[in-house]
Amino acid sequence: MTLTELANRAGVSVVNLSVLKNGRARAVRFSTLTAICRVLDCQPGDLLTVRNT
């Protein structure tokens, strides 16, 4: 699935998804995370990792 297709299905902007994908996001809304998980049929823990900076 392309980033554009995911954005369309989840109702999220491509720019927002790109920021998340490239690890540049400082925060993510629960509604965005929920929408992505609904489309991908996954749980939030499948998408998130913790990095020490």
Query: Mean pLDDT, consecutive 10-residue segments, the chain of 53 residues?
Result: 96 96 91 97 92 75
Residue 47 CA: distances (Å) to CA of 18, 19, 42: 14, 14, 8
**Does residue 50 sit within a domain?**
no
The model's pTM is: 0.86
pLDDT at position 3 is 96
pLDDT at position 51 is 77
pLDDT at position 49 is 83
Contact 14, 3 (CB under 8 A): yes
What is the number of domains present in the chain?
A: 1
pLDDT at position 42 is 97
Which residue range is the domain that position 7 belongs to?
A: 3-39
**Does residue 47 sit within a domain?**
no
**Does residue 21 sit within a domain?**
yes
3-state SS of the chain?
CCHHHHHHHHCCCHHHHHHHHCCCCCCCCHHHHHHHHHHHCCCHHHHCCCCCC
pLDDT at position 43 is 97
